[in-house]
Amino acid sequence: MHDDDEVGGRVTLATVAKEAGVSMPTVSKVLNGRSDVSRATRTKVERLLETHGYRRRGQSVSRSPLIEIVFHELDSVWSMELIRGVENVAKENRATVALTESGTRHTPAPDWLPGVLQRRPLGVVLVFSALPKDVKRRLRAAAIPFVVIDPAGDPDPDVPSVGSANWAGGLAATRHLTDLGHERVAIITGPEDMLCSLARLDGYRSALALAGLETDPRLTRFGDFHVRGGFTHAVELLDGPDRPTAIFAGSDLQALGVLEAARVRGLRVPEDLSVVGYDDVPPAQWSSPPLTTVHQPLRHMAEEAARMLLRPDAPGTAAQRIELATHLVVRQSTAPPERA
């Protein structure tokens, strides 16, 4: 795949070694993530590699036929869709997927990085929003392309990323409900500190305004993207005065919690309550009733990210941003409101 790398690589490394005033083996050690190099030397060499890497990225070292995907946390539905996307592209390119769970909440623990540097993959797909400066510098120094899949809708301007259209998704979900005739529409969006939650909420508000409806602040909730949060907020919404006839849940898992809340309160879906999810992960098709939801193209997003890595002009420097469209999938959890 990169048959010319060796030649191009050696020229660069010799130049860097000369400019840094160190030996070629020392530059190699830095490139390979070895620990037996002083911190000062490593930083000096990395900075030079980064500079030269800008011009030679993707061609400066020989590569293992691996595409890495790094998660902060493997969860069962989201992660699998992303893995499948990367695996599709890996298979097309006779490469293998290497998978790492970094084990922290939003950013990767630094301990995954030396492994990546040693393995010299074709590239790295990172599934989280915030990427420490140090990580960016070291990946660029080693000329390893990387792309962030940005589920939170909060792209680092300095990093190439793939996201999807959260505002438009929130708008489409809510318009579907107002088009059916719902006037009391609640939203359980995601956590307050994630931009995707705010974008979906703004889409919801705009759809209500387009339908000539006021936004009732009592009908706006911030969830946790999990079943439990959807359940708890839905029970409160259904127990309140003048209960909503429709709930736009900010994720499919939250929507499953809403279905359970409806069951516990003796309400039928969709006859007594319409429910719209978000994501369109497989459980949305398996629920009872199957969920109307906003399709977030997770697998496609992962495929795009992996393809970006494999391009001759693979990113790592220029902050490309690809945003894929979302669209509504109508199944059986929504219907016109029954007139009381």
Apex 336 CA angle, 334 and 340, nearest 5? 125
Is residue 322 a contact point for a copy of itself (CB under 8 A)? no
Helix (H) or strand (E) holding 24: helix 24-31
Q: Give the relative orientation of helices 166-179 and 195-210 as an angle to the nearest 10 degrees.
A: 30
Is residue 117 a contact point for a copy of itself (CB under 8 A)? no
Going through 266-324 in order, the beta strands assigned E by DSSP cover 274-279, 292-295, 321-324
Is residue 290 a contact point for a copy of itself (CB under 8 A)? yes
What is d(CA 28, CA 30) in angstroms, rounded to the nearest whole number? Answer: 5
Report in angstroms how near the CB of residue 77 gets to a copy of itself at its nearest. 6
Helix (H) or strand (E) holding 132: none
First to last CA, the chain: 66
Question: Binding string to a copy of itself for residues 119 to 138, with x set by CB under 8 A, is what?
Answer: x-------------------
With contacts defined by CB under 8 A, name the span among 4-12, 38-46, 82-90, 134-142 that binds a copy of itself: 82-90
Binding test (CB under 8 A) with a copy of itself, winner from 32, 43, 47, 80: 80
- In 3D, which of 106, 256, 316, 102 has the Cα closest to residue 195? 106
Backbone angles phi, psi at 61, to 5 degrees: -145, 160
Is residue 285 a contact point for a copy of itself (CB under 8 A)? yes
Binding test (CB under 8 A) with a copy of itself, winner from 10, 18, 55, 91: 91
Binding test (CB under 8 A) with a copy of itself, winner from 84, 136, 137, 184: 84
Which residue, 21 or 103, is less far from a copy of itself as judged by CB? 103
Question: Alpha helices of the chain — where are they, by DSSP H?
Answer: 5-20, 24-31, 39-56, 78-92, 112-119, 133-141, 166-179, 195-210, 227-239, 252-264, 283-286, 298-310
Is residue 16 a contact point for a copy of itself (CB under 8 A)? no
Residues 96-115 that bind a copy of itself (CB under 8 A): 96-101, 103, 115
Report in angstroms how near the CB of residue 17 gets to a copy of itself at its nearest. 27
Helix (H) or strand (E) holding 99: strand 96-101
Report in angstroms how near the CB of residue 221 gets to a copy of itself at its nearest. 19
Which residue, 203 or 257, is less far from a copy of itself as judged by CB? 257
Residues 254-283 that bind a copy of itself (CB under 8 A): 256-257, 259-260, 262-263, 281-283
Residues 36-65 that bind a copy of itself (CB under 8 A): 64-65
Which residue, 45 or 281, is less far from a copy of itself as judged by CB? 281
Which residue, 165 or 261, is less far from a copy of itself as judged by CB? 261
CB atoms within 10 A of CB 28: 15
Report in angstroms how near the CB of residue 115 gets to a copy of itself at its nearest. 6
Binding test (CB under 8 A) with a copy of itself, winner from 44, 74, 236, 324: 74
Question: Hey, what are 217's tokens?
Answer: 């602040």
26 alpha-carbon distance from chain centroid: 36
Residues 6+ apart with CB under 8 A from 116: 33, 68, 70, 100, 124, 139, 144
Binding stretches for a copy of itself (CB under 8 A): 64-66, 74-77, 79-81, 83-84, 87, 91, 94, 96-101, 103, 115, 119, 227, 253, 256-257, 259-260, 262-263, 281-283, 285-290
